[in-house]
Amino acid sequence: MSDSDYALLAQFEAKEGKAEEVAEFLESALPMAEAEPNTTTWFALRLDETRFGIFDTFPDEDGRQAHLDGEIAEQLMANADDLLVDDPQIEEVDVLAAKHSG
């Protein structure tokens, strides 16, 4: 067991003309992720011009669920109709191997 065995992979697409707003939201969400005690790692990703993602890890199922119930998910869903083509695709995934530095 490690402190990042449990993970979430979310993917979503910005509506036409909304990609920069989505990117700005993701950049602004970093302090919210940093404030979550059971979020081990958090990455906001730009996959191409309009597709984005979030990958984050947790030490246990409780940490993963707390993140799903947390402020980032709440704000993303509150703005989904305005910013996103569809609701985010969120998958619960297991980390098979990881390297952490620092």
Q: What is the pLDDT of residues 16-57, one digit of tens each?
A: 999 999 999 999 999 999 999 999 999 999 999 999 999 999
| Cα gap 86→33, rounded to integer Å | 23
Written out in words, the top-level CATH class of the domain with range 6-94 is alpha beta
Structure-block tokens of residue 18: 């909304």
Q: What is the pLDDT of residue 98?
A: 87
Q: Confidence band (pLDDT; 50, 70, 90) for 7? A: very high
Tell whether the model's pLDDT for residue 88 goes beyond 90.
yes
Q: Average pLDDT of 1-18? A: 93
Which pairs count as long-range contacts for 95-98, CB under 8 Å and 24+ apart, including other chains?
95/2, 95/4, 95/5, 95/6, 95/7, 95/57, 98/2, 98/4, 98/57
DSSP 10: E
CA 102 – CA 57 distance, rounded (Å) = 16
